[in-house]
């Protein structure tokens, strides 16, 4: 539409006004012509932590609980001049996933297991209006089958 209006002889400002877009956008499309915009992956930019990644991987493999602050201090001692945030991002990308423990189910014979719940409630009683009391509820249930 922009190119067609331009071919008809309309000025950039008139095209922008008619289409409700910015003049810079109109100029950009006129300069580009019919070529669609080109998008693609950005080229990889080296980061200040790249030379230290092998060291970070080695340390996190041996001690997965190390904090980024601790690793940043260690890297400074090894000649790293960058900031903490860059180290934090690098550590986030290479830290191994935590091992999630699994639950072991166990079954008991009927009558040998019980379940309990404890809950806290704030209650306003009708005989004392405007006063809120804390009430604890203890619920016990014996699980037996048979």
| pLDDT digits (tens), the chain, 146 positions | 888 899 899 999 999 999 999 999 999 888 888 776 678 898 889 999 999 999 999 999 999 889 999 999 999 999 999 999 999 999 999 998 877 888 887 787 877 777 788 899 999 888 888 889 999 988 877 665 54
Coil, strand, or helix at residue 24?
helix
pTM over 0.85? The answer is no
Query: Residues with Cβ < 8 Å from 23, sequence gap 6 or more?
Result: 12, 13, 16
How far apart, in whole angstroms, are the C-alpha atoms of residue 121 and residue 96?
Answer: 42
Extract the tokens encoding 49: 């932590």
Is the Cα torsion angle 43, 47, 50, 55 positive or negative in sign? Answer: negative
């Amino acid at each position: 539409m922009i190119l067609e209006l331009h071919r008809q002889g309309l000025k950039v400002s008139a095209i922008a006004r008619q289409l409700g877009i910015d003049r810079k956008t109109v100029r950009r499309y006129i300069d580009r012509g019919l070529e669609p915009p080109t998008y693609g992956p950005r080229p990889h930019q080296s980061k200040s932590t790249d030379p230290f990644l092998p060291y970070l991987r080695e340390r996190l493999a041996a001690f997965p609980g190390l904090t980024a602050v601790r690793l940043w201090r260690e890297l400074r001692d090894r000649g790293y001049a960058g900031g903490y945030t860059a180290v934090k991002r690098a550590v986030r990308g290479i830290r191994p996933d935590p091992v999630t423990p699994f639950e072991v189910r166990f079954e008991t014979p009927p009558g040998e297991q019980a379940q309990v719940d404890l809950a806290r409630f704030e209650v306003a009683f009708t005989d004392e209006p405007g006063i809120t009391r804390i009430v604890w509820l203890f619920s016990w249930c014996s699980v037996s089958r048979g």
